[in-house]
Amino acid sequence: MTYPKHTLCFVLAFLLSALFIGSCANQGAPEGGPYDTQPPRLLQANPSNKATGVRSRRLVLNFDEYIKLSSDQDKIIVSPAQLKPARITTSGHSVIIYLEDSLRPATTYSFYFDDAIMDNNEDNALEDFSYLFSTGDRVDSMQVSGRVVDALTYEPIGDLLIGAYHPGQMSDSTLAQRTFPYVSKSNKMGRFTLRGLPDSTYLVFATKDNDRNYRYNEPSEGLAFSPRSYRTSLKDSLRTDTLRIDSIVRRDTLHRDSLITRPYTYYYPQDVALRYSVPTIVRKGIERHSRVDSLLCRIEFLSPTGSFPVIRSLDKPSAPAAQLYLASMKGRTLDLWLRDAELIAGDSVRFALSYERSDSLQRVALHTDTLSFLKPRLRTPRTKKGEVEKSPLQLLASGATGLRAQSLEDSLKITASRPLAQLPKEALRLTVTVDSTTKPLDFTLVQDSLDRLSYSLHFARGYGRQYQLKLDSATVRDIYGAAADSLSFSQSTLAEQELGQLSVQLKGIHEHALVQLLDKSDAVITQTKALPLHKDSAQRASTQAKANPAPQSEASDAVLQQLLNKQRQQARGTADSLTQSPQKAASDSLSQPSAKPAASDSLGLLAVRFKDLKPGEYYLRLIVDADGDGAFTPGDYPRQPEEVFYCPQTFAIKKGFTTEEQWDIRATDPMESKPQELRKVKPDTAKKQRIDKNIEYYKRWGKGGKAAPQPQLAQPR
């Protein structure tokens, strides 16, 4: 077939134009447009949201795009509690819910998804999404909101089961035997909301619910509860929100972020405060026993016993215990060091042990067991060529750590690896160095009553001193005849001007105040009991200042000496004023002169003082130690955990200065008073300030300050 000449010319021109256009156009793959930053939107629900008279257990939620569920489906909360977990799946644009439990009559069902629903491509989460329906003729829509925190540290606790009862439902066995009729969960920040509640009064609880039975029936699950009941209510009002205008896309300066007011319903209460703690469960009994080697039999208890159990040898029942073994206890470990040659050589050793043991109901009773200790097969240790074999008896000297180290409250201990035949005081030499002069120092040697391998040296310490302890080799032997190697240990104390002090007067409490000094990691450095602030406290301070003159090194510092003299004069003046007017003296003793209380307010005040602090920043926590055990006591229903207060202030300690402050423990809400520097769980700012994924896209296309590029057409060359 032949084509006309003009047709061939047209085809040839078309092909050349196509090649020309392709060579002139921009190269590269086309972009898919801006990122999708919008979360899925609910289009329809079957049954509809807040529907009544529902009979179907299959529920379908349809959205405007393909969706998926977060891998953490524990965020999804169904109330009332479902003993058979609901099956929740996704299919295309839909979330499908199937309730395995039968529907209860006249009951409102609440489904809270938190941020578990997200779109399939960009993972934009639909936050704070909830869905309600009722099997009756009305939907209960009341809510109870609050926060749950650790009772001691005030750190928020997430993933706790939140439950509520009507006050009339409570009895001694309700918590253990009846599931919570209304449930929710706490999020990462400890916040929770109970939804779909009838308008009524509620008692609110929080527990770990390890066995997933929707009730508190095991002390190890822990519990938080409020002693007061909460009445629900609502208020229809207006709420002002920020309407964000994307200034990158719209360069018109009239379109900026603006405020918009819309109708909103506020539900109350919103401030339920729960303090979670796990009751102290002290289990008594033996965990394990073993024979470490031919000399040592070891028994490990479930908890420290505080005293030696009754021990009787079954191999030689008539022999005195002191001839058969030496007992030493450290913590929950009891060591029996065999002394009898026949017991040491025997393949097994038997003892009858009488000790306290807890039963399944945590009742403690005296129990007697027969324990057999089999000798293990030991390998002979190999020594390297040229290596000097160490003595099996080793002595270790150590001092205090933390705040007490290098202070007047430092300690000096000697710990032996084996029981010593004796440790005579004459075998130890303790010296002190002051101003380059070394002289011997007297001390008292005390053996620990339980840990028989530990010895303490007690002596008076001074500021800016160097101490050295020495022990010559072969001067001390263990009960098996092995000699100890030589020992040398040095420790020192800081100069007084290198340390600071903190004195805090407490308001809002009159007794049982246990104050803890904390570091930046919220760890306890030391703790002390607050003492009453008596009118003669300044007189005692003046007497101590006179009885403890400044060391020689202080006199060389004229500025420091002047400061110390000024403080002593102030102390003497305060003592004189106390003698003349106790009311005036009480007001002058306050740390902030601008906030002097009345004379009646000073009665019953408590004060705490921390001495010899190294320069730095410190924090305070106060425990109302109601039982006087010197520690925090967690709660155990119906007893609340002991009250705890954080001081919101940071205390900066400087060299050579005494920081004096006041702290009204009830001036700030305890839930909010913990300093931000100490908080370990902080808000997830990534959710609140979502990153705009389109910034780079708009910049690339010139919308970040330039006109958007237009599609480029081929131009003839």
Q: How far is CA 449 from the centre of its chain?
A: 34
Do 138 and 201 fall within a single domain? yes
What is the band of 259 on the pLDDT scale with cuts at 50, 70, 90? confident
What is the band of 579 on the pLDDT scale with cuts at 50, 70, 90? very low
Do 208 and 183 fall within a single domain? yes
What is the band of 377 on the pLDDT scale with cuts at 50, 70, 90? confident
Position 106 scores a pLDDT of 94
Domain count, the chain: 4
pLDDT in tens, 263-286: 989 999 999 999 999 998 889 999
Return d(Cα 299, Cα 335) in angstroms, integer.
Answer: 6
Structural contact between residues 168 and 203, judged by C-beta atoms closer than 8 angstroms: no
Return d(Cα 349, Cα 342) in angstroms, integer.
Answer: 10
Q: Give the domain-ending residue among 239, 274, 309.
A: 274
Do 419 and 447 fall within a single domain? yes
Average pLDDT over residues 646-655: 96
Which CATH number belongs to the domain containing residue 349 in this structure? 2.60.40
Position 683 scores a pLDDT of 75
- In terms of Cα–Cα distance, which of 712, 670, 693 is closest to 150? 670
pLDDT in tens, 102-116: 999 999 999 999 889
Do 519 and 666 fall within a single domain? yes
Residue 512, phi-psi category: left (phi > 0), alpha (psi -120 to 50), beta (remainder): left
Q: Which of the residue ranges 79-93, 246-260, 632-646, 662-676 would you say has the lowest mean pLDDT?
A: 246-260
Q: Give the domain-ending residue among 274, 294, 322.
A: 274
Position 231 scores a pLDDT of 97
Return d(Cα 344, Cα 367) in angstroms, integer.
Answer: 27
Residue carrying structure tokens 């008076």: 460
Q: How far is CA 298 from the centre of its chain?
A: 34
Position 384 scores a pLDDT of 67
Do 164 and 197 fall within a single domain? yes
For residue 499 the two structure tokens come to 């340390």
In this structure, how many other beta carbons lie within 10 angstroms of the beta carbon of residue 666? 12
Residue 141 lies in a domain: yes
What is the band of 605 on the pLDDT scale with cuts at 50, 70, 90? confident
Residues forming a β-bridge with 348: 374
Return d(Cα 44, Cα 61) in angstroms, integer.
Answer: 6
Average pLDDT over residues 281-310: 94
Q: How far is CA 380 from the centre of its chain?
A: 46
- Checking if the pLDDT of 559 tops 60, the result is no
What is the CB-side half-sphere exposure of residue 333 using CA atoms within 13 A? 11
- Checking if the pLDDT of 298 tops 90, the result is yes
Structural contact between residues 286 and 358, judged by C-beta atoms closer than 8 angstroms: no
What is the band of 389 on the pLDDT scale with cuts at 50, 70, 90? confident
Average pLDDT over residues 320-333: 96
Q: How does 291-327 read in b/e, with b if 16+ C-beta sit within 10 Å?
A: beebbbbebebeeebeeebebebeebeeeeeeebbbb
In this structure, how many other beta carbons lie within 10 angstroms of the beta carbon of residue 71? 7
What is the band of 710 on the pLDDT scale with cuts at 50, 70, 90? very low
Residue with the bigger pLDDT between 533 and 241: it is 533
Residue 385 lies in a domain: no
Position 416 scores a pLDDT of 97
Residue 242 lies in a domain: yes
- Checking if the pLDDT of 562 tops 70, the result is no
- In terms of Cα–Cα distance, which of 524, 531, 512 is closest to 646? 524
Q: Which of the residue ranges 360-374, 428-442, 598-612 would you say has the lowest mean pLDDT?
A: 598-612
Please tell me whether the overall predicted TM-score, pTM, comes out greater than 0.75 for this model.
Answer: yes
Whole-angstrom CA distances from 577 to 423, 536, 572, 633, 646 are: 54, 11, 9, 42, 34
What is the band of 9 on the pLDDT scale with cuts at 50, 70, 90? low
Residue with the bigger pLDDT between 513 and 572: it is 513
Position 501 scores a pLDDT of 95
The phi and psi torsions of 135 (rounded to 5 degrees) equal: -85, -10
Structural contact between residues 678 and 659, judged by C-beta atoms closer than 8 angstroms: no
Q: Which range, 168-172, 280-284, 527-531, 579-583, is most confident?
A: 527-531
Average pLDDT over residues 215-238: 94
For residue 466 the two structure tokens come to 């160097």
Structural contact between residues 333 and 345, judged by C-beta atoms closer than 8 angstroms: no
Position 704 scores a pLDDT of 47
Return d(Cα 531, Cα 506) in angstroms, integer.
Answer: 10
For residue 51 the two structure tokens come to 């529907």
Residue carrying structure tokens 């406290």: 537
- In terms of Cα–Cα distance, which of 163, 165, 22 is closest to 81? 163
Residue 177 lies in a domain: yes
In this structure, how many other beta carbons lie within 10 angstroms of the beta carbon of residue 668? 16
Structural contact between residues 158 and 192, judged by C-beta atoms closer than 8 angstroms: no
Which CATH number belongs to the domain containing residue 436 in this structure? 2.60.40.1220
Residue 406, phi-psi category: left (phi > 0), alpha (psi -120 to 50), beta (remainder): left
Q: Which of the residue ranges 257-266, 416-425, 515-524 would you say has the lowest mean pLDDT?
A: 257-266
Per the prediction, the chain carries an average pLDDT of: 83
Residue 702, phi-psi category: left (phi > 0), alpha (psi -120 to 50), beta (remainder): left
Position 33 scores a pLDDT of 61
- Checking if the pLDDT of 346 tops 60, the result is yes
Q: Which of the residue ranges 120-134, 420-434, 507-521, 648-662 would you say has the lowest mean pLDDT?
A: 120-134
- Checking if the pLDDT of 545 tops 90, the result is no
Q: Which of the residue ranges 93-97, 195-199, 555-559 would you say has the lowest mean pLDDT?
A: 555-559
Average pLDDT over residues 34-50: 87
Do 415 and 356 fall within a single domain? no
Return d(Cα 209, Cα 213) in angstroms, integer.
Answer: 7
Do 310 and 328 fall within a single domain? yes
Structural contact between residues 622 and 644, judged by C-beta atoms closer than 8 angstroms: yes
For residue 175 the two structure tokens come to 């918590």
Position 190 scores a pLDDT of 94
Residue with the bigger pLDDT between 319 and 20: it is 319
The phi and psi torsions of 439 (rounded to 5 degrees) equal: -145, 155
Average pLDDT over residues 510-528: 95
What is the band of 189 on the pLDDT scale with cuts at 50, 70, 90? very high
Residue 5 lies in a domain: no
- Checking if the pLDDT of 594 tops 70, the result is no
Return d(Cα 182, Cα 25) in angstroms, integer.
Answer: 65
Q: Is 541 helix (H, G, I), strand (E, B) or coil?
A: helix
- Checking if the pLDDT of 547 tops 80, the result is no
Do 579 and 654 fall within a single domain? yes
Position 717 scores a pLDDT of 33
The DSSP annotation for 291-353 comes to E-SSSEEEEEESS--SSPPEEEESSSTTS-HHHHEEEEEETTEEEEEE--HHHHHSSEEEEEE
- Checking if the pLDDT of 361 tops 70, the result is yes
pLDDT in tens, 422-451: 999 999 999 999 888 999 999 999 999 999
For residue 333 the two structure tokens come to 């470990």
Residue with the bigger pLDDT between 430 and 706: it is 430
Q: Give residue 214's domain range.
A: 42-274
In this structure, how many other beta carbons lie within 10 angstroms of the beta carbon of residue 467? 22
Return d(Cα 85, Cα 92) in angstroms, integer.
Answer: 23
- Checking if the pLDDT of 539 tops 60, the result is no
Q: Give the domain-ending residue among 451, 479, 494.
A: 494
Position 580 scores a pLDDT of 39
Whole-angstrom CA distances from 80 to 114, 197, 206, 688 are: 17, 10, 15, 30
Position 118 scores a pLDDT of 92
Residue with the bigger pLDDT between 241 and 538: it is 241
- Checking if the pLDDT of 336 tops 80, the result is yes
What is the CB-side half-sphere exposure of residue 708 using CA atoms within 13 A? 10
Residues forming a β-bridge with 555: none
Q: Which of the residue ranges 129-143, 360-374, 685-699 would you say has the lowest mean pLDDT?
A: 685-699
Residue with the bigger pLDDT between 129 and 588: it is 129
Do 246 and 166 fall within a single domain? yes
Do 92 and 237 fall within a single domain? yes
H helix and E strand count, the chain: 10, 43
Position 134 scores a pLDDT of 96
Q: Is 56 helix (H, G, I), strand (E, B) or coil?
A: coil
Q: Is 237 helix (H, G, I), strand (E, B) or coil?
A: strand
Residue with the bigger pLDDT between 242 and 586: it is 242
What is the band of 5 on the pLDDT scale with cuts at 50, 70, 90? low
Residue 716 lies in a domain: no
Do 77 and 145 fall within a single domain? yes
Residue 451 lies in a domain: yes
- Strands 606-613 and 500-507, by their bridges, are antiparallel
Residue 641 lies in a domain: yes
Whole-angstrom CA distances from 662 to 392, 525, 534, 599 are: 55, 20, 16, 16
In this structure, how many other beta carbons lie within 10 angstroms of the beta carbon of residue 618? 21
Do 261 and 291 fall within a single domain? no
Return d(Cα 532, Cα 512) in angstroms, integer.
Answer: 11
Position 349 scores a pLDDT of 96
